[in-house]
């Protein structure tokens, strides 16, 4: 069982118009609503890749909660540890996607910021995946309880206590986040994956690069959710005992597959879809 400790959002996506510059208004976009949130995306990605997954999260006791959780329920993710909070709103992400597939995102965390250490202290946790869109005390409490792999997606980039980094077996960052954290990412025996967008990804261990992979060519529709899929796929592959190079190659292909469809969760690929893309 994989336990994901992370965020749940409802994504409001405006696509098809150029991304605005500061102070600029653009028009002609199409509006869509998708379940999202990095924690929820990662949980559903792991489930679609064939794993049993439970999500520890918080949503508001409001109309948006069920819409945000709909695909997780349909995908078989265990939501018994997801908390419905009175007086809080379900998290919302405002996303603009350009015709080229690039995006800008503004997140209104809502109930995600109310997830606490007490929400995880009685939970049994084997493998744990966590993301920084929920409070660090909740992540730290979960990491302490985990008996298997502890994987952390250090996004968005923000200061974290050394103890949380020490608990991690795997840290996953993009280039911007890697620059923010610097040498603090690397420690003896710890795996660090750095995603490089269209250039693929690198895997480091103890400060030494041990693998690199480039993605297969795909037609990019939008990149929302690609990083979450990469993180979940790499973690799942390592949990299954796949070697480092093959695990990174699989994760990069999974991220690429996500870019071929619109929306975060609707675009998350199955294991069969990733394996088919690898064969091409």
Q: Which helix (H) or strand (E) holds 41?
A: helix 38-48
Phi, psi (rounded to 5 degrees) for 140: -65, -40
Residues in the chain: 280
d(CA 228, CA 11) in angstroms, rounded, equals: 14
CA of residue 205 relative to chain centroid, distance: 21
Distances (CA, A) of 147 to 3, 24, 128: 11, 50, 8
Among the listed residues 11, 119, 169, 228, the single catalytic one is 228
Partnered with residue 13 across adjacent β-strands are: 32, 95
Paired sense of beta strands 127-131 and 150-153, if any: parallel
d(CA 109, CA 194) in angstroms, rounded, equals: 25
**Residue 119 is among the residues annotated as catalytic for this protein:** no
Sign of CA dihedral 134, 200, 171, 78: positive
d(CA 153, CA 130) in angstroms, rounded, equals: 6
d(CA 207, CA 185) in angstroms, rounded, equals: 8
E strand intervals along 144-246:
150-153, 170-174, 191-195, 201-205, 208-213
DSSP per-residue string spanning 222-236: --TTHHHHHHHHHHH
Catalytic positions: 228
């Amino acid at each position: 069982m994989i336990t994901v400790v992370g965020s749940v959002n409802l994504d409001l996506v405006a696509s098809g118009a150029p991304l605005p510059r500061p102070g600029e208004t653009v028009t002609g976009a199409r509006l869509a609503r998708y379940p999202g949130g990095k924690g929820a995306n990662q949980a559903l990605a792991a489930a679609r890749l064939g794993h049993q997954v439970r999500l520890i999260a918080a949503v508001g006791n409001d109309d948006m909660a069920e819409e945000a959780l709909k695909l997780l329920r349909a995908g078989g993710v265990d939501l018994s540890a997801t908390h419905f909070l009175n007086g809080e709103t379900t998290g919302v992400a405002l996303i603009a996607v350009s015709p080229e597939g690039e995006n800008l995102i503004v997140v209104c965390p809502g109930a995600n910021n109310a997830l606490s250490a007490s929400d995880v202290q009685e939970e049994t946790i084997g493998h744990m995946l966590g993301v920084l869109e929920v409070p660090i005390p909740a992540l730290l409490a979960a990491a302490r309880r985990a008996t298997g792999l502890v994987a952390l997606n250090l996004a968005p980039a923000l200061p974290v206590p050394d103890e949380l980094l020490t608990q991690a077996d795997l840290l996953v960052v993009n280039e911007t986040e890697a620059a923010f954290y610097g040498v603090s990412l690397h420690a003896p025996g710890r795996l660090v994956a750095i995603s490089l967008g269209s250039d693929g990804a690198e895997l480091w261990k103890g400060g030494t690069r041990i693998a690199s992979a480039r993605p297969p060519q795909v037609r990019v529709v939008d990149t929302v959710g690609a990083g979450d899929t990469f993180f979940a796929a790499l973690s799942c592959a390592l949990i299954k005992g796949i070697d480092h190079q093959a695990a990174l190659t699989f994760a990069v292909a999974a991220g690429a597959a996500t870019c071929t469809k619109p929306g975060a969760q609707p675009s998350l690929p199955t294991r069969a879809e990733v394996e088919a893309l690898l064969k091409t």
